[in-house]
Amino acid sequence: MVNITEMACYNKRQRQTGPEQVNDHIVAPLHSRVNGWSFPLHSFQLLTLLLYSYLAIVSFGIYIPLLPNEWRRVAYVVIGIVFVHHLITHLIAVTIDPADENILAKKNYDKPMPLFDRSKFKHVIQNQHCYLCEVDVGPKTKHCSTCNKCIADFDHHCNWLNNCVGSRNYWFFFNAVVSATVGILLLILMMLYVFIQYFVDPAQLRTSPQFESVRGNATWLVFLPLAPVETTAVAILALATLSVVLGSASFLLVGHLLAFHLYLLSKKMNTYEYMTQHRSKQHTIHQELNSETTSDQTCRTEPLQVTLYYYPPPPLSVFLLCITS
């Protein structure tokens, strides 16, 4: 069952990013997309910006001001640098046009993209020439049907950026993933500290001068020091719990994605090459299994023994790329 799911996932990925096949069920946009700000915006892109805004507000408006004096300034500086770094690299990765150099030289995105004629050409890109973009391209350039243009050193199409990731914006994408992983980890640790410290010694969370006016009651303050707002301890703890849950889920996904790209860098591969290699090996193994099953119907346990030699399944991050693209 897992193998069928993975194969379906890769088939879907191939339809969307592979330059070698154009699937009739996918309707490419009439014009090529410029970058991640080209309409329509993707829901995952908006979700990313909403999550970033939420974590920034609760961190700098609620939980950092509750830290003890000796940690508060450090948290403002360190977490602030990480958040700003992530925002800048994320926006740059979205804004950069990752197209092949010859596509950029034409600058002709207003012209409707021609339809691919299978009666004339077998592949979209043949002999490093794209018959849709009508230009010569680099050896690792792929034609993305979502963006409807050739992407230099194509890695993958990222719905979270609403843009393709290629050589022109890969390192900005990578830096955004690194800073997101580090930032979310710091936020989880900070909120866990606030949650635990409330039950151990809540006075350590009320060291800000503004708490002097409410020291004799159970009122808590947020959005210190500029715009103090009164609230309750229950609200702060409930919001901390929600934030830790969201942060933990995000850390699991983004951290796994970071680990996967570190693995790809160590192997000097990109996502597209990894998925193509995996798909090719799976196809070969299935052919061998079918051949062995046909030649020896009496050996019913043989397919189970052969599965021990399966190519390692793709990491969670690749599976997420498939189902979200």
Q: Is residue 322 flagged as an active site residue?
A: no
- Residue 324: its pLDDT value, please? 47
- Residue 161: its pLDDT value, please? 96
Active-site residue among 158, 164, 299, 322? Answer: 158
SS (H, E, C) the chain: CHHHHHHHHHHHHHHHHCCCCCCCCCCCCCCCCCCCCCCCCCHHHHHHHHHHHHHHHHHHHHHHHHCCHHHHHHHHHHHHHHHHHHHHHHHHHHHCCCECHHHHHHCCCCCCCCCCCCCCCCCCEECCEECCCCEECCCCCEEECCCCEEECCCCEEECCCCEEECCCCHHHHHHHHHHHHHHHHHHHHHHHHHHHHHHHCHHHHCCCHHHHHHCCCCCEEECCCCCCEEECHHHHHHHHHHHHHHHHHHHHHHHHHHHHHHHHHHHCCCHHHHHHHHHHHHHHHHHHHHHHHHHCCCCCCHHHHHHHHCCCCCCHHHHHHHHCC
- Residue 27: its pLDDT value, please? 58
Helices 316-323, 271-295: inter-axial angle, 10-degree rounding: 90
How buried is 110 (Cβ within 10 angstroms: 0-12 exposed, 13-18 middle, 19+ buried)?
exposed
Q: Where are the domains of the chain?
A: 29-207+215-274
When the pLDDT of each residue in the chain is averaged and rounded to a whole number, the result is 83
How buried is 250 (Cβ within 10 angstroms: 0-12 exposed, 13-18 middle, 19+ buried)?
buried
- Residue 263: its pLDDT value, please? 96
Share of the chain above pLDDT 90, in %: 66
- Residue 53: its pLDDT value, please? 97
pLDDT digits (tens, 9 = 90+) for 73-125: 999 999 999 999 999 999 999 999 999 999 999 888 888 888 788 888 888 99
**Alpha-carbon distances of 252 from 187, 248, 320, rounded to whole Å:** 14, 6, 12
Asked if 131 and 116 touch (Cβ cutoff 8 Å), the reply is yes
**Looking at the predicted structure, is the pLDDT value of residue 323 above 60?**
no
Count CB neighbours of 318 within 10 A.
Answer: 22
Q: Across residues 8-34, what is the average pLDDT?
A: 53
**Looking at the predicted structure, is the pLDDT value of residue 52 above 80?**
yes
pLDDT digits (tens, 9 = 90+) for 174-211: 999 999 999 999 999 999 999 999 999 999 999 999 99
pLDDT digits (tens, 9 = 90+) for 247-271: 999 999 999 999 999 999 999 999 9
Q: Is the pTM of this model over 0.75?
A: yes
